[in-house]
A and B are shown apart, each in its own frame.
Chain A
Amino acid sequence: MAAPTIHELTAAFARGEQSPVAVAESYLARIDTLDGRVGAYLTVMRDEALSAARASEARYRAGAPLGPLDGAPVALKDVFCTRGVRTTCGSRILESFVPPYDATMVERLRTAGAVILGKTNMDEFAMGSSTEHSAFHVTRNPWDLTRVPGGSSGGSAAAVAGGLAAGAFGTDTGGSVRQPAAFCGVVGLKPTYGRVSRYGLIAFASSLDHVAPFALDIVDTALLLGAVAGHDPLDATSVEAPVPDYVAALAGGVKGLRIGVPDEYFGAGLDPEIDRAVRAAIDVLRDRGATIERVSLPSTAYGVATYYIVAPAEASSNLARYDGVKYGLRVPGKDLIDMASRTRAAGFGAEVKRRIMLGTYALSAGYHEAYYGQAQKVRTLVRREFEAAFARVDLLAAPTTPGVAFTHGDKADPLAMYMNDVYTIPASMTGLPAVSVPCGFNAAGLPIGLQLIGRALDEPTLLRAAHAYEQATPWRHRSPALG
């Protein structure tokens, strides 16, 4: 039986048919039983969750719930700062870090009445596509425990897919929500850059980091986005535009929508089963009344290379603060520089070190222009190509990933791992909203994701099309057989 969605749960709470406390307890019990096999969580917030659930239940009893997320059991990637609850970012260097503040999105979720079950596993500092680079343990894909859930938000994706949370949040920097959503057969939405405040999100690459929800369906996705979206005076890059009612905007279908299919997303390297599933999904959209046309985004080929300059460059800067002086791990040394070196040597994993070195190099005197400068130019080029495409079409449709979930250790070569992001990186670099929605399974029963990309701040159209597709297909009714 498929796990309940958030909107089903909170509707049941409102009708008095289910209790937020009992539901929270059942999720916590499920985590106790199953998470040893999945490894979705780094920290389970049992007491906090139950106390939030009790407060929620009291509100329902008083007939004054906070809204459609009141009592919803959700999980947060361990990249979001939670007041009084350790926030590790999947790293030894922050293993003992307890933030004295909530991220803005955490605060907004609490205000909406959400029950936070815990903090989920991730690739260290969100650097990776498999959640194998967590300093603590790997996370397994609920559809096949020998496979990765994707990454870097693999813990959150696995939690939602495995029924260990009704919804979750991750961060998407180069595809870190859409790719695990595709691998785990759930919905993952990367909103427009600036739509959701980044305050309290531990930075990997500031110009690319997005707060992004995972859900079992599009209605839940719209609810979760609506709860956290909106301007935040603490984030200068957050957008001041008003927040629409995303759920209300789901009605209407795709009739008359122009959907572009970029040639470059269906080339060599794409798994034929995914090719077929995505083309079939596009046919469904056509059948429902959308106009499909071919478009070209030739700079796609430079996306991965560009991303792997910009993201490490920003990371090398953002991660400079972890030096053992103020918080987190400290390894003593003979002087301050020695202490910082030893702390960083012991506290960061290999992938993080690799990216710090890449980024430091890309920003160094003499190389700055050739790498960082050039990457910024390509980024502008990619942005212009998308603008040109969106002059003709309302949405773009493409695969989320070139392949399905791979087995642990399969992509030990960093470059092979990086290529996994080839279809998700362009929307990251342009800041455009993009959603991965389940569009079928391969012969081995592994989920496949359809990616839709929209215009800046046009999440309503993006979600409306995803919703129409979801309603026309059976995929959301299948769940992994975890137990």
Chain B
Amino acid sequence: MAESTRYDTVIGLEVHAQLSTRSKMFCGCPTTFGAAPNSQTCPICLGMPGVLPVINRRAVEFGVRTALAFGLRVNAACRFARKHYYYPDMPKNFQISQYEEPLAEDGWLEIDTPAGVRRIGIQRLHLEEDVGRLVHEGDFAAAQASLVDYNRSGMPLMETVSRPELRSPEEAAIYLRAFRAVLVYLGVCDGNMEEGSLRCDANISLRPRGAAELGTKVEIKNLNSFRNVQRALEYEVQRQAEALTAGRRVAQETRLFDADRGTTRSMRSKEYAHDYRYFPEPDLVPLRLDPAWIEQIRAALPELPRARRQRFASQYGLPPYDAEILTQSRALAAYYEAAVGVHDNPKAISNWIMTELLRELGGDDEATVAKAPVSPANLAGLVRLIDEGTISGKIAKDVFARMLASGEDPVTIVRREGLTQVADAGAIEALVDQAIAANPKAVADFKGGKAVAAKALVGQVMKASGGKANPAMVDRVVQEKLSRI
């Protein structure tokens, strides 16, 4: 990486997010992932002769919601346009997208980087339809036939283009994570990169440190994980820096990331760039958005991850780490706040969620949190039992295990299983008296100045109580009785 320090890195990200609408962008077909090939298609998303598109209002609403969350200006009128190129996965051989008049323009996303807070500009946001998927028989090069699955054809996509303001591969990954978190919070995209719900292309160029003019831009496609975004860009920084240092020109081209090799390879050069022949989609009228509707969407915007994280830290006195984990998903944050609302011990509840609950759930997304067998109120109830001295922390772990298994509330479990700490002074005195009578040596040692001998007696009492005696009370009674001997 030595030569790379001579250059400034300039990165911009294009993110395609599949919107979580029930139906496709321009027809009524369902959007469920993983259905049998071509089972979710109709004449419209198959591009049959004579069919026409109709805009999915929900997709527009999701686009507006996202635009407002990133501070973009929602255009009073926008238009769809046809983007032409031939590919068998695209039924009409044009894609309905937006070109000169996108849904929204000019916003930003603030990200927390090791170098501090940075505001990354977002140039535009537009809606479009997805294409189908080609399935090649065997190896791509040797394949004798290709099959097309049009289930994905016509799925609603939202494309956002960042300004070239990211300064390192690491920043790009941070941007993408923060961006994803916002989409998931807004409920507009499930953020699943493995299933392709979130896809990213990166534009990257290098220029001599401090130079004003941008270097030649390379576009990298096929970045299907946060890690791969960072790896691909790191490789590209290295590759371009070596080229520039050796006095070679960086070609303007599109490159494909090969995750197995960790390298990028040329896909097509600018000379072969498509002429997309954009023109306004004549089958759709310009989309005019009612300002009142936009304001309604704005008013219903949820608190976004970064703001919520900051609030959790200040309102609940949580360490930054806790606040970060608890606000990763809207569902988990809501779970936390529901629990704290029942019993006011923010840090203890945070600990229980982060150590016990998340380990059991194995995820923090909406569906997983919704299925948690322990409700927020029950988790809060458990912490209350500890705080009130009804059960010990050790017993509480057992109670939690039972709560996971049965979904019951902790009070019921503790009562039925007789797990309540013995806090009855008379019962504890009787146990202490028995222990003192049975252990004259320990009493003698204590009297001889060995303070630890009292611990042995406490241990005896706890054992005799089956662990249910309140340890603090036992300790106090033992000390009292010994001092009186």
Contacts and interface: CB of A to CB of B under 8 A. Distances in A.
Chain A partners chain B: yes
Interface of A: 80-81, 87, 89, 94, 97, 99-101, 103, 198-203, 205-207, 233-237, 313-314, 316-317, 320-321, 323, 325-327, 336-337, 340, 360, 363-365, 368, 372
Contact of A325 (B50, B88, B285): B88
Nearest to B287: A236
Given A317-B279, A363-B279, A203 B54 contact: no
Nearest to B86: A340
Given A320-B86, A326-B47, A207 B92 contact: no
A95 B282 CA distance: 27
20 contacts: A80-B50, A81-B50, A87-B49, A89-B49, A101-B51, A198-B52, A199-B50, A233-B54, A234-B52, A236-B55, A236-B283, A237-B52, A237-B282, A313-B279, A314-B282, A320-B86, A321-B47, A323-B88, A368-B279, A372-B279
Interface string B405-427: 00000000000000000000000
Describe B's contact surface by its main secondary structure: loop
Contacts of A81: 49-50
B50 A103 contact: yes
Given A317-B279, A363-B279, 19 more contacts: A80-B50, A81-B49, A99-B43, A99-B50, A101-B48, A198-B52, A199-B52, A235-B283, A236-B52, A236-B55, A236-B285, A237-B283, A313-B279, A317-B84, A317-B94, A321-B49, A326-B48, A364-B277, A365-B275
A368 B82 CA distance: 14
Interface in B39-58: 43, 46-55
A336 B146 contact: yes
B132 to A, nearest CB: 10
B279 A200 contact: no
A201 B84 CA distance: 21
Contacts of B43: 99-101
A198 B277 CA distance: 24
Nearest to A233: B54
A327 B48 contact: yes
Contacts of B52: 198-199, 234-237
A453 B392 CA distance: 91
A236 B49 contact: no
Contacts of A200: 50-51
Contacts of A368: 277, 279
Contacts of B55: 236
Contacts of B93: 320-321, 323
Contacts of B283: 203, 206, 235-237
B275 A236 contact: no
Contacts, number: 100
A203 B50 contact: yes
Nearest to B54: A236
Contacts of B279: 313-314, 317, 363, 368, 372
A56 B93 CA distance: 42
B154 interface: no
The 5 A-B residue pairs whose C-beta atoms are closest, nearest first, are A320-B93, A206-B282, A363-B277, A207-B282, A202-B49
A94 B55 CA distance: 28
B285 A237 contact: yes
B49 A364 contact: no
A94 B49 contact: yes
B53 A236 contact: yes
A236 B284 contact: yes
A199 B51 contact: yes
A202 B53 contact: no
A404 B482 CA distance: 127
Nearest to A198: B52
Contacts of B91: 321, 325-326
Nearest to B283: A206
B396 interface: no
A360 B43 CA distance: 25
Contacts of A314: 279, 282
B68 interface: no
Contacts of A201: 50
Contacts of B49: 81, 87, 89, 94, 97, 99, 202-203, 321, 327
Given A237-B283, A323-B88, A336-B146, A317 B48 contact: no
B289 interface: no
A382 B348 CA distance: 74
A233 B54 CA distance: 8
B289 to A, nearest CB: 15
A93 B43 CA distance: 18
